[in-house]
Structure 1
Amino acid sequence: MIEWTILAVLVPLVIVPLVLLLGFAGCDPFEAAPPPPPVPPDPPVDLVATAVGENDIVLEWTHAGGVTFIVSVLDPDLGWQDNHGQTTDLVFTSPGRKADTLYFYRVRAVLPNGLESAGSNLAQARTWKWQTAYERALTASDAAFPGDCLVQRFDRTILAYTGTVRRLRLTLRGSANAANAPLAIAQLSISHAAPPGLPGNPAPDPWDSESLPVPLGPASLPGNGNPLTLPAVDFPLAPGRDLLVAFDISGTNASQTRRVTGGVGASACYSKANVAEALVENRTPTGWIPRTGMVYLVEKVEVLTG
């Protein structure tokens, strides 16, 4: 009996520690903690939006990279468009915008696993627009004088627009007589009128250009009087400056007439026979016939501003 009593006391003392020992034997006291949750990327910073035309806005920003960028735009007609475009570059062109319209943008970064950053700063830009700086109907016809050079000076006071000029285009009109042949222009150009005090031309004539004129090429003005709008050219017309439009009328021209209007403020036209100086900066100093208050051949001046 005594032996059984001793056994009953000792067995629990042996078995319980053994069970506890075997139980802990399967545990790793140094088991690694679970990985932290994925971290979203940093958002793009220093987002800048710049209009580069009537329909395009360029976005640029700063980021370390290694992500895809998603561009959002606030369209005044459609509201926020969260997925306006995607790129892996740090620059994006937003196409298809409306002229003279304000747009707002944000950019966010997305990792390959789909995690997105917060949005960047908000950037805005307004697209460029065309404005009519001068428009006046040509009301009469004048002799064309084949071989003439014609320098039309638009006084700054009759050029009305707002903003910074990026491009310029002209609408011309020749004869209004349907029986006339087209008026052939061998060369056209535009430029700023030369101001006083230029190093190479300190006392310029009113038909002189500030620098080499921008060539517009030849043109043929319809004899039936229909207008001709020339392609737009890059020309930063400066505020408070007179504009020169120069024509070399073809010497083999079949048309003998050109359209003109009078009473146009301080503007004037200067013509000289048998010279081709549309592309000349400092034109010959003598032989020019002034016609004050007159505008020849140019019916409209439009400027693209932004």
Structure 2
Amino acid sequence: MAFDVTILGSGSAKPTRTRCPSAHAVFHGDRLFLVDCGEGTQMQMARCSIAIERVHSIFLTHLHADHALGIFGLIASLSMSSRTAPLTVYAHGSFEPVFRQTVAFFVNRMSFELTFVPIDSEANTVIYEDNGITVTTVPLRHRVPTCGFIFREKPFPPNLKPGVVEEHHLSLAQIARLKEGQDIVLEDGELLSAGECLYQKRHPVSYAYLSDTLFTRRAIPMVEGVDLLYHEATYMADLLALAKQTGHSTTLQAAEFAKSAGAGKLIVGHYSARYTDLAPLLGEVRSVFQNAVLAIEGQSHRVAWH
């Protein structure tokens, strides 16, 4: 399996002619998840040839307009598409009354089950799980309750090292016990350790989305070793004071976070509307963390087995 992440929105509070508010489409197997749903998300999905009917769940980091306003239009469109599959929305609990009232106002006939799951933005806890992945909240520091999300594949079953079966003439029952992590005793009394016989053929991958936030060391161990990290970089380094005032991060802070977390690859986004040329932002990021790219709307990033 793999995660495929498509950037739907890369701007910050004020949309521009070239940048939409925050949203990522995250594919894993046959499931599509949205992380944030800023204004115009469904139109961006259409431009990227992503069918809105595929959306399985929506995760909102916080309740600012540029991260959440698009959800109502998306749900209204889904209700007109004869969707029958359930849809689950994960967001801060204070949003539920407004969410349900607004949906009820605009959607006359709901053809599918709509579930709202309140999340605790201060907790580092698993909020979603299926056969292949988990989604865990990552507490962040912003002007309102905010959390990021880390998507992790579940570990794959280990494989027996080549030659083990033939060397020890193992039965099917013994093979099964070893794969379950149990040591076995051979006919000659030798103890065969599962740890010595097994290896991980494929390593599960991960993707984290952290926006909006001040630089926060508390979150580093929660995403340590993440394969693909999206971290907001609203401002360049010279506007550090403004970043602190507004609850955002700079390019250098995003890069330092990725470096400290041991991330494999960094995507920066949530650019202030003041920036038209993004090359200087990327230059600052790469001065600290080389394997970094800009969030460009319509582009996709794959995190595959390794």
TM-score, normalization by structure 2: 0.19
| Larger radius of gyration between Structure 1 and Structure 2 | 1
Q: Which has the higher contact order (CA 8 A, sep 6+)?
A: 1
Say which structure is richer in strand: 1
TM-score, normalization by structure 1: 0.19
Say which structure is richer in helix: 2
